[in-house]
Structure 1
Amino acid sequence: MLYLERILFVAYGARAAHGLDEAMNKTLNRVNIMIPKGKLMIGIRQDIHAKINQILSLNHPSAHETLLNLKRFVLNENSKSFELGIAARRLTELMIDNLLQELEFDLLRVSLYRKIGYLKDIGIAEWITSYMHVLRVFGNESAHHQDQACRRPAVISQSDLGLCLFCIERLLDFWLEYLQGHYP
């Protein structure tokens, strides 16, 4: 069975690209929240950058595109919440597929929620999987239309993006240790 992997929208010129970006954000009810600033957030973003570089140095080819995109959004002070959310979810998907590769069944048709649940079968701690769920939810929030009128709060905040960065940092730390063989 064939699966759609990517849709590319092409706009000729900055004005057309900006108009396309605005139309998509309006249609998907995306909010324009920027990554939080301050010494703590700068330190976390630098730590994420260093961990991504360490994982890339392990020559994990399937991770390159996902990690480079995540690094780009984490390092850019002007990244928007939906960009970070989608990149964080892709990181989560990549990590989980790597962690579950030893299982002997087809994971292509399994939801990310269920895949996270399978991690307990291979001994991954519940607090680690809870960070994955946080990033899954942020990714869903970023990628899908949300009815903001029915929720409290209606949209995510800069504080939520700070939590997203903390989760990314911790999961990268865990995955790096896993890839280096620190866990049996």
Structure 2
Amino acid sequence: MNKHTKVYLNRNEFGTVSGIKFIELHYADLTEFYYPIDLLVLASYKYHEGSTQKAFEKSFMEKYGMSMKEIQEEAALDLNKSLGVWMSKEFDVEKVGFKRIACIELDDRTITAECFAERIRNLFAVINLADGIGINIENIAMPVMGSCLKNLPDDEILSILVEQSRFAMEKTYNLDGIYIVDNDRERVMKFDRKMNEILNRTDVDQENVFSDEQCDEILCDMWSKMKYYREQVTSGKFKKRDRSDVLIEFEARIESRELRQFEFCVLARKMLEFIIYDIGGDKAGNRNLFQRIEYMRKTELASPRITAYMHIIRAFGNAEVHTDEEVEYSIEENYLDRQILVECLSRVVDYWIAYKYRSNKKTK
């Protein structure tokens, strides 16, 4: 696995009474996941040890000298006998990359779709219970659970994971997002296709942006301008999810020349969020994206023309992570939509670079 695979593959966002929640898919090594996680979820198979768990246990034992058995013995919540789920005590997230481990016990010889769905529901029930006793879980990471269940079709497993994850986040106040992380390419691509099916993505959404010569040229030129300032924004206040990480992701996409149109829409929105935070700071950050853009306009940090470009980027990004509803009056997407988005992002990046240049001159 190289650095080009260390980027998200897919994302689904949906509104709930407690805010926007997400399910995000990554082709990566769960034992070296690159975002701080509140809860790392693994599955323990009664008759078959999953490769992810074996790799994780070996890595954890080598680094910290603790086995999963020892971790379970000191669990903060052990409901293994009644619900088939236990949750560990808290670890030092700075050292291990996650705060806690939860483990789901599965009998891979007799389990049915109904039993698997119930076990996933039990996981979220334990997360709710943890919240009730003061254990705050805002995000979780897990592999494609159930991958060793030979008697359940992959499509059924994936449907259960997506449906139960969404249902749980709609009912849970604190849980904001779930990362599905797996280094088995075949499993990840099946999950990717399932998410695209749920989101009704078209053939245009699946096209590689770099196959468009005009877009390729603009994106490469954009990165050649941005990378000069990269070192200034990879420390301090930017050491947060979706901030300076987006520059690393953008560079990886430029080098790999692989970026589907829907992925670009999401990446462009993340770059916009980063630019607004860089210029507007925390005052611009504690709002939804629409409000942040309007903050930039009202405080005259960006002109109405620049904020118009920003709103276009926001609209494209939102459309690609929400379930696509049929609208009576619309037209089909084509290459022009892609080029409009690339041009808008290019202008916003030019605005950001001009701002950085002026800021640097003032500090000299």
TM-score by length of 2: 0.44
- What amino acid sits opposite 1:83 in the alignment? E
The amino acid across from 1:96 in the alignment is: I
Aligned-partner SS, 1:131? helix
Alignment check: 8 A CA contact 1:86 1:143 kept? yes
Q: Which residue of 2 aligns with 1:139?
A: 317
| Structure 1 position 122, deviation (Å) | 2.5
- 1:13–1:57 distance in 2 versus 1, CA, 3 Å: closer
Residue type of the alignment partner of 1:159 = L
Task: Determine the structure 2 residue equivalent to 1:111.
Answer: 288
Instruction: Give 1 or 2: higher helix fraction.
Output: 1
Letter in structure 2 aligned against 1:19: K
CA distance in 2, matches of 1:177, 1:83: 27
Query: How many Å separate the matches in 1 of 2:258 and 2:214?
Result: 17
Does the aligned pair in 2 maintain the 1:34–1:158 contact within 8 Å? no
For residues 76-124 of structure 1, what are the alpha-carbon distances to aligned partners after superposition, in whole Å with 9 as ceiling and x for unaligned?
A: 4431111111111111111112222274xx842x221111111122221
Root mean square deviation, CA, Å: 2.7
Percent identity between the two aligned chains: 21
Give the alignment of 1:43-122 within 5 angstroms: 43-61=217-235, 62=238, 63-74=243-254, 76-101=256-281, 103=283, 107-108=285-286, 110-122=287-299
Q: Is the 8 A contact 1:35 1:161 kept in 2?
A: yes
Runs of 5+ consecutive residues of structure 2 not aligned to the other structure: 1-135, 139-173
| Corresponding residue of 1:177 | 354
Deviations 1:123-142 (A, max 9, x none): 21111101111110111011
Give the secondary structure class of the aligned counterpart of 2:323.
coil
What TM-score do the two structures reach when normalised by structure 1? 0.82
Structure 1: which amino acid aligns with 2:319? E
Cα offset, 1:152, TM superposition: 1.2
Cα distance in 2 for residues equivalent to 1:38 and 1:17: 26
3-state DSSP of counterpart to 1:24 = helix
The aligned counterpart of 2:343 is: 166
The one of 293, 304, 326 equivalent to 1:148 is 326
**In 2 relative to 1, CA 79–138 (structure 1 residues): closer, same or farther, beyond 3 Å?**
same
The separation in 1 between residues aligned to 2:298 and 2:327, in whole angstroms, is 38
Larger radius of gyration: 2
What is the match of residue 24 of structure 1?
Answer: 195
Counterpart of 1:37?
211
> Which residue identity does 2:180 align to in structure 1?
F
Quick one: distance in 2 between partners of 1:51 and 1:57? 13
